[in-house]
Structure 1
């Protein structure tokens, strides 16, 4: 390792003997060392050099160590440098102040050389891990940005024609219009994407979009945006038609049926199967060209856009949920199951959402009938459960157990009172108490026939657990 590759440690202490002892100790361990006799000199040094770690005394003239640390942490370029205080002050209030101003560790004098070296080494390793994490996050952000930019071209011809053919097509501005909005999302795809190579993630999204895009265009929908594995489509903009609502519902039904094709292609390519949820809502929004002279897009804005995404968030794989406004605006008879009351974030009163299974009249499309053959487990599987609100935990862990299972559906016994559409995170155990899975996500569907029992649908399930469940159901 060249001298430049060795970690540089800055020692700040007004005692020359301490500087010498610590400097010799660190040099013998292979570190490069810089020394500063006071806080001001240290801050001047840091304007041009960024050490890997700082060992900082507290009791120094003019500017003590606490103030020195506070000032250097105010500079963005220096915030990531770990500061270890080495001082004779041993009171708890001094230790607390050291951490409050940005220190990461505290060593009291007289110090033991082994302790100093161990703590310096530990914080350098942590810093290196943080650098790797930052690099990985930047790579992930580049990948996500690539996906967004790559699929940004999935816009319908209607939008392009409106922008190019109208004399004012490229001008900013918008109009209010009643639009039916459709949002799709692949259940559990975020966690699945973290397990797969980036190329596989892109290929799966390509398969999905290549299948769904022609269906949306077939029903004269406009793909307003694609967010990774989610599609946001409009029916009624830029052109309104009398059957906007019916086309949106029929489109959603055909898209769900087409997931069979998507999964057949996934399996042929060696990818896992996936499931899609769809939310549909009808409301008044502002539509038009939004942005700046440098970056503009055709878009819709308004609270009804947010509500559409909220409605979709209540779905499970294979489900289509529509709002009361969409149900009332639909002129064709709908086949509906299990109306549910929900209270989306940002909405004052509960709303009703409807599980659509089919549409009659002009389009006449029905989803295949669901057949659930529950299997009673030989021994119930204990579970520790957390209630989720969005991505945040709500309340304490509670216990339950899985007693019956079907494909992606299970019956959960628990003394905790649950509501339909509650989101759950479960840690599942074997009958002998060993952990079977710590990352199992589900949504409450309804009460089961047995007391204190609920039917739940798994929204994200690891492949090994899915295989275990299939073993139970096949037997």
Structure 2
């Protein structure tokens, strides 16, 4: 770090004098005073001892003055050279080194001294070097401590938030400020059910790879991760500082996250792991941002209905989908490509929830993500039992039904009673085949045809066991 010159040096004024002026002026005036005293004493002595007249005394005084001037010039020249070499130049070198002080590069601040420099000056230079070394050590220790604090807390909070807390006088105060943010909520489909059939250590490794990849994407679009909730991610765009492009960056980030997961899935498949699907919900609105809790236990976060609505929007997604709320869509519709809106009435909300499926956003982001075209549906009739879910909780069922057509990601079923679109369901085939019994299959209702009897529903599969999928794929290819 570059030292501030104002810390060790003040601007010269008319009355300021350096060591050169002080020493040379001091020597000159002292020699001159001594010579004047000798001149006066010589004149008085000559007049008293020899009785010299005025003219003789005048010429005598002039000769003495000329001699004094010669001696004075000689003394000043010789003393000046001596003082410059032994005192003035070494001290000026110290002053110059202090003026260009740069503790991050101490080698440029060394003071060159002659071999015969005075011991006292050598001690001054040595003491200065030790002081600089001590300052540099303290500065480095402080910098290391600050970086350690930032790196450590940066694992739990965004680096931006850590900087705000450490650098702002108000950073640690309990409370918050109101501002508009864009909230991104993502969640993996079927991850909890996948974890039931695998070792915890393996699931942690898979989850960490996923979270690491998503974190890099979110940070690339200047988002702040508020927290990880299992396999869900809550990210915020607009803290600590609100920007006009927060909604657009959030949408671009969501599409980039889907692209990144597609690449990650290729790695998982090559390693014999099941691919994962992710839904993303985005909403924009006012929140309170700041330190929540007490002096004993504080959490930096956001509070507001926008967070709950973003979570509700995400819950209506299927794998590979990005849904945005009305407020977000209004801010990005000039850039984003969206499908017709979905309107859903959800428990706890006073008015219907309107969501827009977004598939692309234009420059400067220029990102497009569209799930691959599904394979044709194949007619296969399989009996099953079905339960309706609210989150992970069973709220209705079982109901008997039968598949009509299916492929790797879609199942068209007939059921005795109609289901509301976006209902989460659990299916279980009620038979075993080739010593294989099916596990639970999780899906979301995406389309309902109530004109048929019994009603026909199109389901998007959110999770299916690998062994079940392999057997169904074999049957599909055989048709």
TM-score scaled by structure 1? 0.64
SS of the equivalent of 2:341 reads strand
Change over 3 Å in CA distance of 1:303–1:315 after alignment to 2: same
Q: Which residue of the other structure, out of 455, 458, 478, is the alignment partner of 1:455?
A: 458
CA distance in 1, matches of 2:195, 2:403: 27
Change over 3 Å in CA distance of 1:369–1:208 after alignment to 2: closer
SS of the equivalent of 2:309 reads helix
TM-superposed CA distance for 1:343, in Å, is 2.4
Residue 335 (structure 1) aligns with:
337
TM-superposed CA distance for 1:156, in Å, is 2.4
Residue 190 (structure 1) aligns with:
192
| Gap runs ≥5 in structure 2 | 1-151
CA distance in 2, matches of 1:390, 1:437: 22
Change over 3 Å in CA distance of 1:341–1:224 after alignment to 2: same
Change over 3 Å in CA distance of 1:357–1:151 after alignment to 2: farther
TM-superposed CA distance for 1:339, in Å, is 2.3
Verify the 8 A CA contact 2:383 2:401 in the aligned structure 1.
Answer: yes
CA distance in 2, matches of 1:303, 1:447: 30
TM-superposed CA distance for 1:268, in Å, is 4.6
Verify the 8 A CA contact 2:418 2:448 in the aligned structure 1.
Answer: no
Which digits, 9 at most, give the CA deviation of each residue in 1:181-205, with x for residues without a partner? 0011111111112222121111111
Change over 3 Å in CA distance of 1:445–1:361 after alignment to 2: same
CA distance in 1, matches of 2:347, 2:215: 30
Change over 3 Å in CA distance of 1:322–1:390 after alignment to 2: same
Any residues of structure 2 matched to 1:251-330 within 5 Å, and which?
251-330=253-332
TM-superposed CA distance for 1:362, in Å, is 2.3
Which structure: greater helix fraction?
2
CA distance in 1, matches of 2:433, 2:162: 61
TM-superposed CA distance for 1:439, in Å, is 1.3
CA distance in 2, matches of 1:151, 1:192: 31
TM-superposed CA distance for 1:401, in Å, is 1.2
Any residues of structure 2 matched to 1:130-149 within 5 Å, and which?
none
Verify the 8 A CA contact 2:288 2:302 in the aligned structure 1.
Answer: yes
Which moved further from structure 2: 294-303 or 267-276?
Answer: 267-276
Which moved further from structure 2: 438-447 or 360-369?
Answer: 360-369
TM-superposed CA distance for 1:355, in Å, is 1.4
Verify the 8 A CA contact 1:424 1:441 in the aligned structure 2.
Answer: yes
SS of the equivalent of 1:417 reads coil
Residue 474 (structure 2) aligns with:
471
Verify the 8 A CA contact 2:432 2:438 in the aligned structure 1.
Answer: no
Which structure: greater strand fraction?
1
CA distance in 1, matches of 2:421, 2:185: 21
Residue 421 (structure 2) aligns with:
420
Which protein is bigger by CA-based radius of gyration? 2
SS of the equivalent of 1:357 reads strand
Which digits, 9 at most, give the CA deviation of each residue in 1:144-165, with x for residues without a partner? xxxxxx9992532211111112
TM-superposed CA distance for 1:434, in Å, is 10
Residue 408 (structure 2) aligns with:
407
Verify the 8 A CA contact 1:375 1:472 in the aligned structure 2.
Answer: no
RMSD, matched Cα: 2.5
Indicate yes or no: 2:433 matched with 1:439.
Answer: no
Verify the 8 A CA contact 1:152 1:226 in the aligned structure 2.
Answer: no
CA distance in 2, matches of 1:223, 1:267: 28
SS of the equivalent of 1:202 reads helix
CA distance in 1, matches of 2:409, 2:247: 30
SS of the equivalent of 1:186 reads strand
SS of the equivalent of 2:265 reads helix
Indicate yes or no: 2:221 matched with 1:219.
Answer: yes
Verify the 8 A CA contact 2:378 2:407 in the aligned structure 1.
Answer: no
Change over 3 Å in CA distance of 1:269–1:294 after alignment to 2: farther
CA distance in 1, matches of 2:437, 2:328: 42
TM-superposed CA distance for 1:269, in Å, is 4.5
